[in-house]
Chain A
Amino acid sequence: MTAESGPLRQTSLYAEHKRLGGRLVPFAGWEMPIQYAGIVEEHQAVRTAAGLFDVSHMGEIELRGEHASAVVDYLVTGDAAGLDDGKALYTCACNERGRILDDLIVYRIARDAFLIVCNAGNRDKISAHFRRAAEDHCEFEDRSDKTALLALQGPRALDILALAGREAAACADLKSFHFRDAVVANVHTTVARTGYTGEDGAEIFCAWDDAPHLFRTLLELGQSKGLQPIGLGARDTLRLEACLALYGNDIDETTNPFEAGLGRIVKMDKPLFIGKEALAKVQQAGTPRKFVGFEMTGRGIARHGYPLCDPQGRPIGTCTSGGPSPTLGKNIGLGYVPAELAAVGTPLQADCRGKLVGAVVVKKPFYKRNRGTA
């Protein structure tokens, strides 16, 4: 995460967070709730019922015009040009060296209109990058300051959404990574079947000032179904269990999508996109390091930045994310290790501030929701 200076910004839900007893901390230049009731309790609520997150700090950029499709397609590694209207795509933007500038979700609003959602900490960088590429080709608008974003996640998320009106209820029919405009609790929104928790659910875009009403109404409607407000702390433990990369921790401008296990979001058969040449070389040569999941076998927790070592204690890699997994009751982590030490079952050690603690490579993701009919 880039260091930020100046006063912290607040989302339109700041007063709601205060009212709910949220603990506010600085995050990517914003004052955001890290927790309300407690990280573990909130984590369990999302896994077993539902949670509501304020992610209004994320950046939203719109590109419109005849050539918008070509511009977006040139900027991201995925097949944006081939995306159907009303569909979203998880992808990333790379630099010429094939390193990751940010991971993004691209939404195709219409043939000639795209919405791009980027990480809060990368907003200025990505906004400038897209603005430059759009120049003389299509319209560009950074709508981040006008756009609030709520995430409603968990096995009961869609049932709760359905209580917020006829159009809201119809969103249950959307497939994963599809979106539509819908009036939710009398607020004009765009509802997308996306998220960052490993659970089913939706992300809801609305006008900045409409968010408090929407947030309060959803919390009221969901109360009897166990809906809770969720802070960034549980957002992190949830995404870690689901092995969803966190920009600034697991991926950054030193990593390429292939070594980060994101090869699926790189479409090498596209004629042209930024980073393609460099990535073709990476793909051809293979990646000397791989992004793995591991479980601690000894007493300790590997955290971001801790060295990973082989069983002889020689440093061989780095932990990029780590912490307790409330769902599994184990301490888990993600990190980069040499390809020859990446196989499931390979013993590792984590250098926890000078203390070597045993770990073992395990299958990713740590947590996968049951996609039954529940």
Chain B
Amino acid sequence: MSEKLEVRDGLLYTRDHEWTSSKADGMEVGITAFAVDQLGDITLVNIDLKVGDTVAAGKTFGTIESVKTLSDLFSPVSGKVVKINGELETKPELVNEDCYGKGWMIVIQPSDAGEKDKLLSPAAYRDLLKSVAH
């Protein structure tokens, strides 16, 4: 089942099923297709931080509510929040529809470039999914 869920190349992943991608202004962060599949229909995305706030890697930056449950959102890297996807406030379904695109959540200006090395490559994340599926 989980093998069919997209793991996009060119992104980095966490064990908590967030992805991050290097953009001009920082690291864009969202949740993976696997996380979306586990959550089901998403009804609320709550980003608890404001632009300018700092967050540490592995700490929560918000919560996501689906019909089924509530989940924490964990920051893949440490740094300053430079952008928040305000569209999710009224259209949380964008995460269901396009989790690697329009469903992005925040952009973080990383304070520790070395942290990126601790994240999972697409291949390593695919292996992780295989291990949770079986």
Also in contact, A233 and B46, with CB within 8 A (given A39-B41, A40-B41):
no
A-B contact pairs, 15 of them (CB 8 A): A23-B1, A34-B68, A35-B68, A38-B41, A39-B67, A40-B67, A233-B68, A237-B67, A299-B89, A301-B43, A301-B65, A301-B70, A303-B70, A324-B43, A353-B63
B49 within 8 A of A: no
Task: Give A237 to B67 CA distance when docked, in angstroms.
Answer: 8
Closest A residue to B48 by CB, please name it: A355
Closest chain B CB from A323 CB (angstroms)? 6
Residue from B41, B43, B44, B70 with most neighbouring chain A CB atoms (10 Å): B41
Please determine whether A326 and B67 come into contact, CB atoms closer than 8 angstroms. Answer: yes
Please determine whether A233 and B40 come into contact, CB atoms closer than 8 angstroms. Answer: yes
Please determine whether B40 and A39 come into contact, CB atoms closer than 8 angstroms. Answer: yes
Please determine whether B41 and A299 come into contact, CB atoms closer than 8 angstroms. Answer: no
Interface residue ranges, A against B (CB under 8 Å): 21, 23, 34-35, 38-40, 233, 237, 299-301, 303, 323-324, 326, 331, 353
Contacts of A300 in B (CB 8 A): 44, 46, 65
Task: Give A301 to B41 CA distance when docked, in angstroms.
Answer: 14
Task: Give A277 to B69 CA distance when docked, in angstroms.
Answer: 40
Closest chain A CB from B91 CB (angstroms)? 14
Closest chain A CB from B73 CB (angstroms)? 13
Nearest 9 Cβ contacts at the A-B interface: A40-B41, A39-B67, A324-B43, A301-B65, A324-B67, A39-B40, A233-B68, A38-B40, A40-B67
Known A-B contacts: A39-B67, A40-B40, A233-B67. Give 17 more (CB < 8 A): A23-B1, A35-B68, A40-B41, A237-B67, A299-B46, A299-B89, A300-B46, A300-B65, A301-B43, A301-B44, A301-B65, A301-B70, A324-B41, A324-B67, A326-B67, A331-B43, A353-B63
- Total chain B interface residues with beta-carbon distance under 8 A: 13
Contacts of A331 in B (CB 8 A): 43
Total A-B residue contacts, Cβ distance less than 8 Å: 39
Closest B residue to A301 by CB, please name it: B65
Task: Give A331 to B40 CA distance when docked, in angstroms.
Answer: 16
Contacts of A23 in B (CB 8 A): 1
Task: Give A352 to B124 CA distance when docked, in angstroms.
Answer: 35
Please determine whether B63 and A323 come into contact, CB atoms closer than 8 angstroms. Answer: no
Task: Give A303 to B43 CA distance when docked, in angstroms.
Answer: 14
Task: Give A300 to B89 CA distance when docked, in angstroms.
Answer: 11
Contacts of A233 in B (CB 8 A): 40, 67-68
Kindly identify, within residues 5 to 50 of chain B, every residue whose CB is under 8 Å from any CB belonging to chain A.
40-41, 43-44, 46
Task: Give A353 to B64 CA distance when docked, in angstroms.
Answer: 13
Task: Give A331 to B43 CA distance when docked, in angstroms.
Answer: 9
Task: Give A34 to B68 CA distance when docked, in angstroms.
Answer: 9
